[in-house]
Amino acid sequence: MCIAYSHLVSTILMAGLIWFVQVVHYPLFHKIGKNELATYALEHQRRTARVVGLPMLVEGISTLWLFFDPVNGRTLPLIGGLILCKIHLSTIFLQIPKHAALIKGYNEKVVSRLVQTNWIRTIGWSVRTVIAVLIIVSA
């Protein structure tokens, strides 16, 4: 049951962080001076990695653990795990390339597309939070 609580806490943390990024942080990329954005974007990547690294690791390990040693069945961990895969695929194939483009300089379309595609992760982590709660409640 301790793993289920670790899973819940790490998932809630990631959901909160991604909502902050979605609603506050990414839209503010439009407000940064064109000459400063490249430096800002690089620093954003460095600092964000430090903040999300541990919670993402705990979430990933606990997701796998709950599937192979389920608290109350494998269905919820499987659904949550598939959503987590989609989140990570979105990060790799959509968000990371846009961040790489922003390091080269401001591009309004790239920032707008970053905000749009980040909804995949925002909704994904929100749904994962509900699943993490259900795993605990159903135990």
pLDDT in tens, 66-112: 999 988 889 999 999 999 999 999 999 999 999 999 999 999 999 99
Record the pTM: 0.94
Domain that holds residue 58: 2-137
Taking every pair of Cα atoms in the chain, the longest distance, rounded to a whole number of angstroms, is 53
Q: Is the pLDDT of residue 139 over 90?
A: no
Q: Is the pLDDT of residue 133 over 90?
A: yes
pLDDT in tens, 12-52: 999 999 999 999 999 999 999 888 999 999 999 999 999 99
Residues whose CB falls within 8 Å of the CB of residue 91, separated by 6 or more in sequence, listed in order: 121
User: How many structural domains does the chain have?
Assistant: 1
- For all residues of the chain together, what is the average pLDDT? 95
